[in-house]
């Protein structure tokens, strides 16, 4: 397997990064994960636009990066022969040989990329997954896609310890999103709800793409916060993300969601989305 690190394609186990990198010391880094389906990058431009926004938000220069990234993605996919899976990229604040909170006035970014083969429309999409609810303990700018992922990592560990697949985060009685995905809830036959954008959640690229598909079909979605109570009483729940695309959540905190099987609305959304990328 070949990865890309600071200007070079190298073997995965030969990639070396300075521990003084600001990404390592301060989680001063932006990242993106773009799905690859049928050998093609899904929603690449939207991922790059979000990357630019995060970089602006965390004071890392992005001059000329966007132009280089398309071909780097393609080369990485080709070198690793990935037809289905994803590309991960991280842009860090760079390494300066010392631990200095502020650092130089203009940072020189580091860039790391790898890709992975994964079945994006597999068992989990078919049968659904289980999740637990966990308090959201993240910082206040969750709309930036940064590598400050400790609370999500801990939420996943808690889920896995209890035999669940993932976690759904909430604060003050309201649901924010999944630990690494946006959340959607079907409350009654025709009310599909997903949280409105803001600083509390990541503006998911898959979320936007699903909204666009649904709008074309004339299906309306309520964009608002839902309470934990509404979540636990929902007919259907599903998540959207680049690594899972559309995953039905069929069990929450050990109890079945609706019938305990992926529901008709989730199936319809999956069908539309899969046709769109296929």
Which residues have a catalytic role annotated? 145
> Which CB, 166 or 262, lies closer to ligand PDD?
166
Residues 6+ apart with CB under 8 A from 212: none
Work out how close the CB of 14 gets to ligand PDD at its nearest, in angstroms, rounded to a whole number.
24
204 makes contact with ligand PDD (CB under 6 A): yes
Using rule CB under 6 A, residue 207 touches ligand PDD: yes
Specify the stretch interacting with ligand PDD by CB under 6 A; choose among 20-28, 60-68, 107-115, 179-187: 179-187
Q: Is 194 in the site for ligand PDD (CB under 6 A)?
A: no
Residue span binding ligand PDD (CB under 6 A) among the ranges 123-131, 157-165, 203-211, 248-256: 203-211
Q: Using the rule CB under 6 A, is 206 a contact of ligand PDD?
A: yes
Which of 80, 130, 182, 200 lies at the binding interface for ligand PDD (CB under 6 A)?
182
Reduced 3-state DSSP string for the chain? CEEEECCEEEEHHHCCCCCCEHHHHHCCEEEEEEEEECCEECCHHHHHHHHHHHHHHCCCCCCCHHHHHHHHHHHHHHHHCCCCEEEEEEEECCECCCCCCCCCCCCCCEEEEEEEECCCCCHHHHHCEEEEEEECCCCCCCCCCECCCHHHHHHHHHHHHCCCCEEEEEECCEEEEECCCEEEEEEECCEEEECCCCCCCCCCHHHHHHHHHHHHCCCCEEECCCEHHHHHCCCEEEEEECCCEEEEEEEECCEECCCCCCCHHHHHHHHHHHHHHC
Q: Which of 186, 205, 246, 249 binds ligand PDD (CB under 6 A)?
A: 205
Binding to ligand PDD, residues 224-243 (CB under 6 A): 240-243
Query: Would you say 50 and 145 are in contact if contact means Cβ atoms under 8 Å apart?
Result: yes
Instruction: Write down the least CB distance from residue 243 to ligand PDD, Å.
Output: 4
Binding of residue 90 to ligand PDD (CB under 6 A): no
Q: CA 228 to CA 145: how far, in whole Å?
A: 24
Q: Which is nearer to ligand PDD, 206 or 270 (CB)?
A: 206
Q: Is 30 among the residues that bind ligand PDD (CB under 6 A)?
A: no
Q: With binding defined as CB under 6 A, does residue 80 bind ligand PDD?
A: no
Question: Which residue, 130 or 182, has its beta carbon nearer to ligand PDD?
Answer: 182
Partners of residue 114 on adjacent β-strands: 88
By CB under 6 A, how many residues form the interface with ligand PDD? 14
* One of 48, 55, 202, 246 touching ligand PDD (CB under 6 A): 202
Q: Does the footprint of ligand PDD cover residue 180 (CB under 6 A)?
A: yes
Identified binder of ligand PDD from the candidate list 2, 30, 33, 168, rule CB under 6 A: 33
Tallying the residues shown for the chain, one arrives at: 278
Q: Which residues bind ligand PDD (CB under 6 A)?
A: 33, 177, 180-182, 202, 204-207, 240-243
């Amino acid at each position: 397997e070949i990865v890309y690190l600071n200007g070079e394609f190298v073997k995965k186990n030969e990639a070396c990064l300075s521990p003084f990198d600001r990404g390592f010391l301060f989680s001063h880094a932006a990242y993106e994960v773009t799905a690859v389906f049928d050998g093609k990058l899904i929603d690449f431009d939207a991922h790059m636009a979000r990357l630019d926004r995060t970089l602006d938000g965390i004071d890392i220069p992005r001059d000329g990066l966007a132009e280089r990234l398309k071909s780097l993605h393609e080369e990485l996919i080709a070198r690793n022969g990935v037809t289905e899976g994803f590309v991960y990229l991280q842009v860090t604040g760079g390494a300066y040989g010392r631990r200095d909170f502020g650092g130089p006035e203009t940072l020189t970014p580091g860039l790391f990329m790898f890709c992975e083969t994964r079945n994006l429309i597999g068992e989990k999409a078919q049968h659904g997954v289980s999740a637990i609810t966990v308090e959201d303990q993240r910082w206040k700018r969750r709309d930036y896609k940064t590598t400050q992922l400790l609370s999500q990592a801990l939420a996943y560990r808690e889920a896995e310890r209890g035999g669940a697949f993932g976690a759904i985060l909430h604060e003050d009685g309201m649901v924010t999103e999944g630990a690494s995905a946006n959340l959607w809830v079907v409350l009654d036959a025709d009310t599909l709800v997903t949280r409105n954008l803001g600083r509390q959640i990541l503006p998911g690229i898959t979320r936007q793409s699903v909204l666009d598909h649904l709008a074309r079909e004339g299906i309306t979605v309520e964009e608002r916060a839902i309470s934990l109570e509404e979540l636990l009483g929902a007919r259907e729940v599903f998540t959207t993300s680049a690594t899972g695309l559309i995953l039905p959540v069929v069990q929450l905190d050990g109890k079945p969601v609706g019938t305990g099987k992926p529901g008709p609305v989730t199936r319809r959304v999956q069908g539309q989305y899969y046709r769109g990328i296929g």
